[in-house]
Every structure is written in structure tokens, then in C-alpha cells.
């Protein structure tokens, strides 16, 4: 009887050791795996704050990924910076779905304005900067693929305005 109990104890110990070892391997793989390396993983990260967002487009600048996303009633721009073998979310902004969204954020010490509009049949975007003296400068971007506009911000105090034009010539500001 005592021998049978020792045999059972050994089997239970071996089973527990195997389960603990397997759990340790799975946990290590999860903790060491890169985060936000795919658009689907970045979409899941965006949805940790507010649910229902779908990534619409992404662009890369100097190793950072900028994602645009929409939900039923909002749009979002999110900046992910490299971290290890993956990316971490560093900043994001939300607006109502019919608005133009401008997110100002630094990327490796350079300030950028990221602009996005989730309109249909959009062909171009015009970004206009006005400095403290009232001097304006504008740039026009092709956005036929609903891409994110990336514009390096000017130095000093400025205001930025963005307008989008669709295939029928309608302007959205």
C-alpha cells in the first residue's frame, strides 16, 4: 500500500512539474514576443482605450508607425514607436467621425503634424501653416488611398489648417 502511494505521489509530482513547466514556457513566450508588430495587433491596442475601431491606413516615418482608425462615430490617429522587436503606443487623438483630425507629435526629435479625414472619394489635402507674423505656407498632398498626411511642423508659434477635396470638387474643412 505504501509503495502504491509513493508511486502515485511520484506521478502527481511529475504531472505538476510538466504543467508548471508548460505554463512557464507559454508565459515566457507571451512576455517576450514583440507587441504591436502587425496592423491587427495595433488595432487591438487602439481598442483597449475605446472599442469598435478598425485600422484604415498606416504610414511609417523614421521607424515609427502612424495608424488611422475609425469606429461608428469617431476617428483616431495613433503613433507607435519602436520598442525592442515591436512597437508601443506613445500618443493618440480622437475626433468625431465627420471631422478632420490633426495630431501633432514628435518623432525622433522632429515635430510633425499628422492629418487624416475619413471622407469618401477624397483626392487631395491642403495643409496651411500660419506663423506668428501672419505669413502663410501651404502644401498639397495626394490622398486618393485615404492615406495619412505627414507634414513636418514649422519652428516657433504657428497655426495649422487642413482642407480636403473630393472627386466632385467639394472642400471639407
The pLDDT value recorded for residue 145 is 85
Please report whether residue 7 resides in a domain.
Answer: no
Residue 166 in this model has a pLDDT that exceeds 70: yes
DSSP class of residue 16? H
Domain extent, residue 119, equals 39-172
119 in a structural domain? yes
In a domain, 130, yes or no: yes
pLDDT tens digits for range 21-36: 444 333 333 333 469 9
Residue matched to cell numbers 462615430: 73
Q: Flag whether 125 is in a domain.
A: yes
Is there a domain that residue 135 lies in?
Answer: yes
- Residue 76 confidence (pLDDT): 97
Q: Inform me whether the pLDDT recorded for 42 exceeds 50.
A: yes
Q: Over the stretch 50-73, which tens digit does the pLDDT of each residue have? A: 999 999 999 999 999 999 999 999
**What's the average model confidence in pLDDT over 139-151?**
94
Is 31 domain-assigned? no
Report if residue 3 sits inside a domain.
Answer: no
1 — pLDDT class (breaks 50, 70, 90)? low
Q: How many domains does the chain have?
A: 1
Q: Decide if 135 contacts 148 (C-beta within 8 A).
A: no
Question: 159 lies in a domain?
Answer: yes
Amino acid at each position: 500500500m505504501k509503495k502504491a502511494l509513493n508511486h502515485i505521489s511520484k506521478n502527481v509530482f511529475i504531472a505538476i512539474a510538466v504543467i508548471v513547466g508548460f505554463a512557464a514556457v507559454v508565459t515566457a513566450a507571451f512576455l517576450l514576443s514583440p507587441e504591436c508588430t502587425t496592423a491587427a495587433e495595433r488595432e487591438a491596442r487602439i481598442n483597449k482605450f475605446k472599442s469598435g475601431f478598425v485600422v484604415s491606413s498606416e504610414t511609417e516615418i523614421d521607424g515609427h508607425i502612424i495608424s488611422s482608425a475609425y469606429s461608428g462615430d469617431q476617428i483616431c490617429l495613433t503613433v507607435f514607436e519602436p520598442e525592442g522587436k515591436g512597437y508601443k503606443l506613445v500618443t493618440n487623438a480622437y475626433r468625431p467621425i465627420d471631422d478632420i483630425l490633426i495630431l501633432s507629435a514628435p518623432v525622433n526629435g522632429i515635430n510633425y503634424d499628422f492629418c487624416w479625414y475619413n471622407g469618401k472619394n477624397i483626392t487631395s489635402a491642403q495643409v496651411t501653416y500660419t506663423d506668428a507674423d501672419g505669413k502663410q505656407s501651404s502644401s498639397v498632398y495626394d490622398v486618393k488611398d485615404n492615406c495619412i498626411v505627414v507634414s513636418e511642423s514649422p519652428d516657433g508659434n504657428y497655426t495649422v489648417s487642413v482642407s480636403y477635396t473630393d472627386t466632385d470638387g467639394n472642400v471639407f474643412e
